[in-house]
Amino acid sequence: MVDLSMHLMDIVQNSIRANAKTIDILFEEKTKDHTLTFVVNDDGIGINKEMLKKMDDPFFTTRTTRKVGLGVPLLKMTCEQTGGSLEVKSEPQMGAWVKAVYRTDHPDCLPLGDIAGTLALLLKTNPEIRFRALYRLDDDEFRFDSDELKQLGIDLDTAEMFFALKEFFTANFEELFRKRPCGSYLC
């Protein structure tokens, strides 16, 4: 994975495969602490304790299409190489919670990548799922809840809506990121 948007897509795809109906995504950047916390929380089928213990083993996967599962091990590696950490909590039928912490002042910190495009794509391809996203940068934040658009009767799975959402997310992230002080490896 070359950026955080790719990790976001991978972890959210795990939530989708776990039949989640609601997926919460949080990015919290604390510039004074030089940290970025990335959390995905879902209400899917969850993970039992035996499987949870094997999550960081690249030769373990629940998928039948391949024999390796590199998503969580790679996420753990990219966190730890910056001095950060990865934590996964889950119980059967109680959903899953994944928390990745990165040191943003470390040169091995991954760039954000196309978070706006990733969110727009997730909404377009999974209109039945409620996505709630929050990006907090110190005291400023941008929030999004897909149910608010659905209540307005907006069809999320059209090409036009994909481009409109990507533009909407991009504009809001750019406004937020202008407030980021220098010294971070995030771009």
pTM over 0.85, yes/no:
yes
Element housing 118 (H / E):
helix 115-125
Structure-model confidence comparison of residues 64 and 153, the more confident one:
153
Partners of 136 in the beta sheet? 28, 141
Which pLDDT does position 48 carry in this prediction? 78
Q: Are 72 and 96 in contact (CB under 8 A)?
A: no
Partners of 22 in the beta sheet? 130
Residue 184 has pLDDT above 80, yes or no: no
The CA–CA distances, whole Å, from 71 to 1, 53, 163, 177 equal: 8, 15, 27, 27
| E strand residue ranges, the chain | 22-30, 35-42, 85-90, 96-103, 130-137, 140-145
Q: Which two tokens stand for residue 29?
A: 């950047």
- Reported as a single tens digit per residue, the pLDDT across 82-122 is 999 999 998 888 999 999 999 999 999 999 999 999 999 99
Q: Taking all residues of the chain, what is their mean pLDDT, rounded to a whole number?
A: 89
- Reported as a single tens digit per residue, the pLDDT across 117-152 is 999 999 999 999 999 999 999 999 999 999 999 999
Domain locations along the chain: 4-177
C-alpha–C-alpha distance, residues 147 and 93, integer Å: 23
Of 59-73, 88-102, 151-165, which gets the smallest average pLDDT?
Answer: 59-73
**In the structure, what pLDDT confidence band is assigned to residue 2 with cuts at 50, 70 and 90?**
confident
Residue 67 has pLDDT above 60, yes or no: no
Which pLDDT does position 64 carry in this prediction? 53
Which pLDDT does position 68 carry in this prediction? 43
CATH fold group of domain 4-177 = Heat Shock Protein 90 (3.30.565)
Most confident of 16-20, 44-48, 177-181: 16-20
Cβ contacts of residue 78 below 8 Å, gap of 6+? 1, 7, 100, 102, 108, 110
The CA–CA distances, whole Å, from 32 to 27, 29, 42, 84, 180 equal: 15, 9, 29, 15, 11
Q: At residue 116, what are phi and psi to the nearest 5 degrees?
A: -60, -45
